[in-house]
Amino acid sequence: MHDVEISRAVEILRPARRVLAFTGAGVSAESGVATFRGAGGLWEGRSIEEVASPEGFRADPIKVWRFYEERRRNVARARPNPAHTVLATWQDRFERYTLATQNVDGLHQAAGSRDVLELHGSLWRVRCVSCGTERDDLLVPLPQLPPLCAVCGAMERIAVVWFGEFLPPDVMAAAQAAAETCDVLVVVGTSAVVYPAAGLVGIAAEAGAKVIEVNPEASALAHLADVTLRAPAGEVLPLLDAGLREG
């Protein structure tokens, strides 16, 4: 990463009125949250079907809940990093600003971001498998596994999107609308291989938005980027923000 690339990204962002930030696991990894892939990842030694699918939950809800309790403990120890902080401050910088994330850890909200579009749900919400009632639950650990719905008494599950399930239609629609109308899309810390969320990059580029990619490694959609910044988001975003403040 060179100063010229930072300057180019700042010049793209400075006149923007409508900005969409789209974040992935890389942002949370800088706060110590385990990712799914790679050595030490959440899938290591586990079958996706067993712990992150409706079928796995029906077969063994306790196993699935223990997996997510482990994740909740890990996330509860994490704190927002400088990337989360900058993305939160940008909501007051641009005329129209949308933050859409594939992350389920709530660190964007912990940094002060409002109205975050959680494309894949949240570790801090549970949903009844029978009546569909959702509620926030920040207790770690939960007093019982599985938790039971106060409305109908059925089991509750974690309110994240599992494999084989659809993304929340209202959340995805809002993210797509932001992608179609943004001046600039800032893609941060995502491999851009998980669809349909990754499709937001193509939607924005096709609609004429400038695309800035912030990631230590090139994503699957790096060819759509106007500027690529190959460094951790916690280092890059404060530099971009400082450049904007100087303008």
Rounded to whole angstroms, the Cα distance separating 205 from 187 reads 12
Phi, psi of 212 (to 5 degrees): -115, 125
**161-188: buried (b, 16+ CB within 10 Å) or exposed (e) per residue?**
bbeeeebbeebbebbbebbeebbbbbbb
Rounded to whole angstroms, the Cα distance separating 48 from 80 reads 27
Among residues 241, 247, 242, 194, the alpha carbon closest in space to that of 19 is found at 241
DSSP label of 155: B
Radius of gyration of the chain (CA): 18
Phi, psi of 170 (to 5 degrees): -70, -40
Q: Catalytic residue among 2, 84, 108, 120, which?
A: 120
Annotated active-site residue 120? The verdict is yes
CA 26 to each of CA 32, 121, 188, 201: distance values in angstroms, whole numbers, following the listed order: 10, 17, 7, 16
Rounded to whole angstroms, the Cα distance separating 121 from 161 reads 6
Residues paired with residue 119 on neighbouring β-strands, in sequence order: none
Rounded to whole angstroms, the Cα distance separating 205 from 54 reads 34
Catalytic residues: 120
